[in-house]
Every structure is written in C-alpha cells, then in structure tokens.
Amino acid sequence: MDYNIFGFAYEVLGEISNTVRLLNSLKNIFEILAESDTGQSISQMKHEDIYLNITELAEKYNYNMEVHTVTTEDGYILSLHRIPKGRNSTKNDLVVLLMHGILDSSDSWILQGPNKSLGYILAETGFDVWMGNARGNKYSLSHIKLKSSQSEFWSFTWDEIGKYDLPSMIDYILETTRMKTLYYIGHSQGTTSFYVMLSLKPEYNEKIKMMFSLAPIAWMSHVKSPILKMFSPANKILQYININTYSHSTKYFNTVTNIICNFLPIRCDSLLNLIIGYDFKHINGSMLSIILGHMPAGSSTLQLVHYGQLVQNGRFCRYDRGVKDNLMIYGSKLPPDYDLSVITVPIVLYYSENDWLCDQRDVEILKRHLKVKIDNYIKDFNHLDYLYADVAKDLIYLSIIKQIYYY
C-alpha cells in the first residue's frame, strides 16, 4: 500500500511520543489567556500597536527612530533601527546593539512600550540604541542580486548571520558613532549568532565591551519544543512535506502545525505555543495579542533545520551539508564544532528552567565552554518572557544597566 497521510500521521506521532503530553496540555491555553481584566477575549481586543511597524510605534510614543541600511559581504541588505537618545535627551556616550531571536525582528525590543521595553529603557538611560535585523526577516528582504522570491535568497542558516550579518552591523555602527567598542545584547538566536561570529572571527572580541545573553542557545540536546524537534534530521517529517527547504520558514511552519493540529486533540491558535511552550503567566493577554501581530517576522527554513541538527547530534557545530559538501567546504566529513575557547568577551547569561528552547542543562554545557561568564538564573521564565514579561524590567533590564556601569 502506498504511504498515505494516515500512515504519515502515525509515524510523526510515534517520533514525538515524548512530547505528546506537552502538546495535549495546550488544549485549553487560549481559553485561559483569552480572559482579560475586563472579561474581553483576545480576539475582541483591538490595540493599534498590533498593526504598527517599528518606526510607527516609535513615532506614536515620541521617540526619534532612524533607519539605516548595511550591505553584507555576501550581498544581503539589512535594516538597522536606531534610537539615538531618549525623550529626555540624556546621553552617556555608550553604544549598544540589540539582536533578536529566530522568527523575530527589531520590533521585539520596543513592543512593551515606554518604561517597560528594553530598547526604550536603554535610550532613556542615555544609551545610543541600535537594533539589528537578520537576513530574511521582514525588514531585511533585499539583496544586491537576488530577490526574496528566489530559492537562492534563502540558502542560509544562522551560521551566515554570525559570519556576515553581525560583523557588518557592528562595523557600520562603530564607524557611524566613531566609537571603538559597543555592548551587545542578544535574545535566543541573537546569542547563537554572536557565539558563531566570535568563533569564526575572533578579532571581533576587540570590538565588544560586554555581551548579555538572554535565553542563550548553543547546545540543544535537551530542548523540549516539539516543533523544533521536528526539524531534526532524525525526524522523517522533512521527507514527506513537499516544500523547498530553501524557502521562507513560515510556509514550513504552517504545514507542520496544520498536520499536528489535524491529528492531535489540541487547539492551534498560535504556532508560538508549539515552539516555546504555553506558560504565559508573566505576559498578559493584551500583550500577547500585540506579540502575535509582529511575530513570526520571517527567517530561512534552514535556520530551523540547523537547530534541528543540534538537537540530534548534541553538538554546537556548523551546518551539516552532507559528506561531499562538508569535505569541500570544511575539509572534513563532519561539520566542525564552533570553538568558543577563543571568546574573551565577558558574557552575562540569563536563563530559566521553564524555557522550552533554552534548557538549563544545555546552558550548563555552554558555561563550561566560556572563559568569562556571569550567571543569572531567572525562575519560571519562558522563552519570550525575557522580552515581554511584566517583571522583565526589574529582573533583567535594570540588572543589565547596573552591570554595564559596574564593570
């Protein structure tokens, strides 16, 4: 008998049997989140911030937002958003680059609004705030030769983001501000790409004063997210979804989540639940609706596949292109590990046991490979709480500012 959708469904369920309990627990998530303080459902809440882009948001809250573009060595044209100063015009001559996670954009650093978002708080404290956008997200869809409709445009992972995007942004920022160093704050993939950059280009150690890792991701063998596990080469789901892997990741996510939601007794109002978990106790309903208005912001499917490889192989290594291409590109049958021993920048880690993507056990492995690190364990944070939790300012943002001034 030909392989059919029912056989495929059973195979998928068998491969993620250890996560079915987690998936089933999502069944009532939106009934729980839907109740606001006024009794309105999320769908009934109409908040204009859901629909505004980053420059419109800044204008609404009376912040000066500059838009800069930088072209990478391999031809991608990236957008940088800058808040040069706060509304009170305070300046401290310190430059900071904020780098978003996967499927995200610079929007994430200001969505909570004034006095709550890290981007605004840093600006009001006197920092010159720059917010990057990796290739493939909604603000960085241009190339000097390629169009985003071409599969060649999407032939990259976060390896290229670390190798090309971050160095281009950092060089541009330092040249524009006439500074020699800057501070770096990354969330999720924004931490991964930073470790990649310094591993492949250790000379950039001299350009970073200090780095803050929010939900750091490198080793991933203990990841809990069922969606991310599906991008592991060990999972046969990739063989049966007829979508070009050199494509925009949202297409892939829509297909995967549709399959799961059709064959499991859960509600799938948001793919975010299947990625990061369902515990949003630190994020109120109205804030969640704003987040969903800005995310996912786009990425390459290969970025997710690269993470899936790490889930399977238990390593922090470059993208596995197969033996033939590995030999040609890396000079070895297996992709080489990223060498974190060359990192000399002081790194401050923020992590939690309640994060489906950044497991505490994987962070412990990362810590053993870093020379200089400062530990900050945050209780009961999920993967997005670092950006959107009501308590993030007190638990994280003020801590970052204090450590910058202290060190």
- Find out whether 29 and 278 touch, Cβ atoms under 8 Å: yes
Provide the β-strand partners of residue 69: 79
Is 179 buried (19+), middle (13-18) or exposed (0-12) by CB count in 10 A? middle
Provide the β-strand partners of residue 129: 83, 96
At 364 the three-state DSSP class reads helix
Which structure tokens are listed for 48?
Answer: 């204009």
Which structure tokens are listed for 320?
Answer: 């596995």
Which structure tokens are listed for 87?
Answer: 């509304």
- Could you identify the residue written with the tokens 């909604």? 138
- Decide the pairing of beta strands 182-187 and 95-99: parallel
CA–CA separation, 47 vs 300, rounded Å? 29
Task: Tell me, yes or no, if 383 is annotated catalytic.
Answer: yes
CA geometry: angle 383, 52, 132, nearest 5 deg: 55
At 219 the three-state DSSP class reads coil
Catalytic residue among 213, 306, 383, 385: 383
Cis peptide before 296 (omega within 30 of 0): yes
Q: Is residue 324 within a helix (H) or strand (E), and if so which, with residue range?
A: helix 323-329
Task: Tell me, yes or no, if 188 is annotated catalytic.
Answer: yes
Catalytic residue among 159, 355, 362, 385: 355
Catalytic residue among 117, 188, 289, 352: 188
CA–CA separation, 102 vs 143, rounded Å? 20
Q: DSSP of 257-294, one letter per residue?
A: HHHHHHHSSS--S-HHHHHH-S--TTS-HHHHHHHHHH
Closest CA to 350 of 182, 212, 191, 192: 212
Catalytic residues, which ones? 188, 355, 383
